[in-house]
Amino acid sequence: MSLRIFLSILLSSLLLMSAPGRAAESAMTLQNPTILVLGDSLSAGYGLDADQGWVHLLKQKLRTGDFPHTVINASISGETTAGGLARLPSLLDRHQPQLVLVELGGNDGLRALPVPQIRQNLERIVDLSADGGATAVLFEMRIPENYGPTYTEAFTRTFTQVSEARGVPLVPFLLAAFATDPAAFQSDGIHPSAAAQAQILDTVWPALEPLLNR
């Protein structure tokens, strides 16, 4: 057998062996769309065990409901819209998500950052997600009334305005169902307790479920 024929047979064999692997990998990619959670401490599970936060409960709910989605939690305690915007391009490139859940803005408001700046950052996050082939889902955020009615109302309106302007879903304020119940919060009075996480997921799910392609 000539060297040329031998090499030809060897190459054909290698291609046949690798094809099923590539096909399986492609099928897995198609069958497992990714949900990227881009949030702050409310989504990072501040003060909670790893299996107690609402994002972990979301993973369980998807698994129980036979949804194929993979959930990537890229949330960081203290994160702002500017920080999320800066991290988003690499996250999109790495995970190629179908959905980006944007739970940001609360820390901006608590720092009384300019509302136009917050809106611009949120719009860029939505636009970058769309450019990367993902649908963004905005989470409405609120801040205490002691920031004054002018700033507080403008801050809250921003999320609805961005949602309407960009045509993306809006999740109502995550803490609305238990905001007046001190027992639903940890000792700091700011972060929800483990027991309240299921209520947070109940707030997220109605906006998220219609976007999940089985």
What is the tens place of the pLDDT at every residue in 45-86?
999 999 999 999 999 999 999 999 999 999 999 999 999 999
For the segment 105-129, what is each residue's pLDDT rounded down to a tens digit?
999 999 999 999 999 999 999 999 9
pLDDT confidence tier of residue 213, bands split at 50, 70 and 90: confident
pLDDT at 139 over 90: yes
- 70 φ/ψ angles, rounded to the nearest 5 degrees: -100, 135
Q: Active-site residue numbers? A: 41, 188, 191
Residues 143 and 128 placed together within one structural domain of the fold? yes
53 lies in the same domain as 27: no
DSSP β-bridge partners for residue 103: 39
pTM (2 decimals)? 0.85
Is residue 25 over pLDDT 60?
no
Q: How far apart are CA 53 and CA 31, in angstroms?
A: 25
Q: Is the Cβ–Cβ distance between 138 and 167 less than 8 Å? A: no
Can you give the CATH number for the domain in which 88 is found? 3.40.50.1110
Q: State the sign of the Cα–Cα–Cα–Cα dihedral 78, 84, 86, 91.
A: positive
Q: What is the mean pLDDT of the chain?
A: 89
Can you tell me the distance from the alpha carbon of 212 to that of 74, in angstroms, rounded to the nearest whole number?
20
DSSP 187: T
Does residue 101 sit in helix, strand or coil?
strand
Domain check: are 106 and 27 in the same one? no
Tokens standing for 66?
Answer: 């036979």
Range of the structural domain that residue 9 is part of: 1-31
Q: For residue 80, how many other CB atoms are within 10 A of its CB?
A: 22
Amino acid 45: pLDDT: 96
2/41 same-domain check: no
Check whether residue 19 and residue 70 sit in a common domain.
no
Do 83 and 146 belong to one domain?
Answer: yes
Which amino acid makes up residue 144?
P
Are 175 and 192 members of one domain?
Answer: yes
Q: For residue 157, give the amino acid letter.
A: R
